[in-house]
Structure 1
């Protein structure tokens, strides 16, 4: 432990990371640099500065990373239509490589020889943080207190805080949600408490971003989403930055009961876990992007993307954002988006996202003169289909002669 002179801590200012801060100072006898990221979690991050100062921290980083998060992480992921195990839109997973990146940048800026995080030894986040850190700074020392200390319950954490004079807002603690929650621009997640039994239905007052579909407006909401190279650049004709797009869709989607999900997923560390998620913007973005691609993307390019997507999604879920294979896949995905330009009209109604229209003046591959059921004026010779079918049936006919 004495080899560590300075450590950069991913610090929220909450109970857990406040205890980790003190624990690092005492157990490692080292200087601690704190890093707090605003990635759209919807809570004030500035109070963390006062708490860090009170703990004797001299170097405090508080960064607004919402635009970088949306532009460089979420939007590239949605170009791939990434979804893990058919349901999870990777809201927590995609935030971890950004935090790892900034931890390493700060470590280099401050001359720190270690980083630390508050992820537990049972979850995926420890893997994601550390794979990212090692990919960006191979020799970094990673300190994961939950794998080292014996403070394994909330009671023991509270006792430690009291013993070491760590300030606790008891009023806030008494109002604290019983769930383990994670939030950013893409989603908010809920785990623990009654959700640990997969048979229990989530309580309606658990959800924070969305109304229930039953309570959503009786009139649908229409939106027009403008795309350039696979990314939403405007809503209803108003140009918006990536983060503003997501904030807008979260609000409108949540108001219409969009984006609730209840999932049992397979963690990378080997166990199954049950979690509930609210992802209004992501739910809309996935549906609309596929509609835009349906009009503008070549058939075989689309099918190849669909084959690659589960691998790409698993790489993100498991923490391999900074791996060469993810970067290779991203290059192919980004190339496929060159002509994914146009507008999608969506209808939001009581928890559902409907496609109400799509158009692309320059890049549409939909040719009405060929697709029509009416007279196509010779644009398509239907007699050609006979040879096409016979050639594709050749192996089936030969096999049938063998008596399959």
Structure 2
């Protein structure tokens, strides 16, 4: 890939870790450009001020460190959950849904600072490079993207450390050894991949799990919580109104201590290969169960079934990096229309790794006890079922006669 020699300023998605610290210096050396750093707090649970200090020591003059937790949950996580999105039936898309927000701010900061390009630390084998870049191009068709992992020859940890030492980049002692696996985290989930997890025939070691208690060690007594919904989004826990980020954090706390939300998955990456990931999504798993509960009484059968048919397509679009694509926005409009009456409260029981809906209520419930009762009623004439069955059986009977049955 030819280098963009005319780049004068680039905005780097910067964590302050070894990889992005090396990338920062590499951009300064190879491109001779000014680097603006952008570090997002998406609820990963790490102190971000060290990233500021490292950027300052590297000579960075424009440093962006932003708390995006509320925007992340309100404008990205909650809209995705309205679709009940799960990639390949299991993955709640915790990493995937963070990338469009990061890409959005990279593009916005590039405009604010007059930068010529943006840069990220995603490797050439993974999905994140695709997500960052597709979302960036959707927001600015002329943006230039620098992906060092696709350009440089620093293709091993030893080479990264050697480069860091040659350029006086501080390397914490615990980062000098080979990490047993890589981690991506935000308020929605923790994702662990690589190294000790690469062989799908081997169970994940216990130490991989960081956000949830082992279900076997979880409390022996169930815990009951109530989640309130308005138009498809959760707004309260046990009657207490909470902001989007605070609510998800509260559900994470409940899920953590009851071992809820562990998934060990071999998935199909967009770039073509299969990969094994261990995900922990405690609050999201509780939320999905509760959303299914409230929708079960507020959505019409046709709407509910259509949503379920479209969900895999929606999830695939998010996974592949098409958050800002028109087809995702079209599906979102359909999903949001379905949520007009998804209001009420759901009671969930948490117990040793499970989150089970045990009660649900809504002022807009379509559930009619008068129609479903096994006792005598005056609203349903059971004789009507005979004609209904005969009409639906007509084509089946014609097919059977043709077969000579």
Query: What CA distance in whole angstroms lies between the structure 2 residues aligned with 1:280 and 1:50?
Result: 32
Shift in Å, 1:175: 7.9
For 1:58, which of 61, 64, 73 is the aligned residue? 61
Query: What CA distance in whole angstroms lies between the structure 2 residues aligned with 1:174 and 1:104?
Result: 33
Give 3-state SS (helix, strand or coil) of 1:262's partner: strand
Shift in Å, 1:176: 7.7
Pairing of 1:279-294 with structure 2 (within 5 A): 279-294=281-296
Query: What CA distance in whole angstroms lies between the structure 2 residues aligned with 1:207 and 1:264?
Result: 17
TM-score normalised by the chain length of structure 1 = 0.98
Query: What CA distance in whole angstroms lies between the structure 2 residues aligned with 1:177 and 1:124?
Result: 21
Query: What CA distance in whole angstroms lies between the structure 1 residues aligned with 2:48 and 2:325?
Result: 30
Pairing of 1:3-402 with structure 2 (within 5 A): 3-170=6-173, 172-173=174-175, 177-360=179-362, 362-376=363-377, 378-402=378-402
* Aligned partners of 2:18 and 2:175 also within 8 Å: no
* Aligned partners of 2:88 and 2:267 also within 8 Å: yes
Query: What CA distance in whole angstroms lies between the structure 2 residues aligned with 1:52 and 1:296?
Result: 51
* Aligned partners of 2:157 and 2:178 also within 8 Å: no
Query: What CA distance in whole angstroms lies between the structure 2 residues aligned with 1:347 and 1:400?
Result: 48
- Give a deviation string over 1:165-221, Cα, whole Å, max 9, x none: 111111x32688521100001100111122100011111122111111110000001
Gap change, CA 1:315 and 1:358, over 3 Å in 2: same
Query: What CA distance in whole angstroms lies between the structure 1 residues aligned with 2:385 and 2:365?
Result: 24
Give 3-state SS (helix, strand or coil) of 1:387's partner: helix
- Give a deviation string over 1:220-262, Cα, whole Å, max 9, x none: 0110000000110000000001101111111110100101110
Shift in Å, 1:61: 0.3
Shift in Å, 1:15: 0.5
Give 3-state SS (helix, strand or coil) of 1:205's partner: helix
- Give a deviation string over 1:357-384, Cα, whole Å, max 9, x none: 0011x200000011111111x1111111
Shift in Å, 1:2: 2.2
- Structure 2: runs of 5 or more not aligned: none
Give 3-state SS (helix, strand or coil) of 1:321's partner: coil
Query: What CA distance in whole angstroms lies between the structure 2 residues aligned with 1:357 and 1:364?
Result: 13
- Give a deviation string over 1:99-139, Cα, whole Å, max 9, x none: 00000000000011100000000000000000000000100
- Give a deviation string over 1:134-159, Cα, whole Å, max 9, x none: 00010011000000000011111000
Comparing 172-181 and 236-245, the one that deviates more: 172-181
Give 3-state SS (helix, strand or coil) of 1:357's partner: strand
Give 3-state SS (helix, strand or coil) of 2:364's partner: coil
TM-score normalised by the chain length of structure 2 = 0.98
Query: What CA distance in whole angstroms lies between the structure 1 residues aligned with 2:80 and 2:144?
Result: 29
- Structure 1: runs of 5 or more not aligned: none
- Give a deviation string over 1:323-353, Cα, whole Å, max 9, x none: 0000000011001000000000000000011
- Give a deviation string over 1:282-332, Cα, whole Å, max 9, x none: 111111101110010010000000010000000000000000000000011
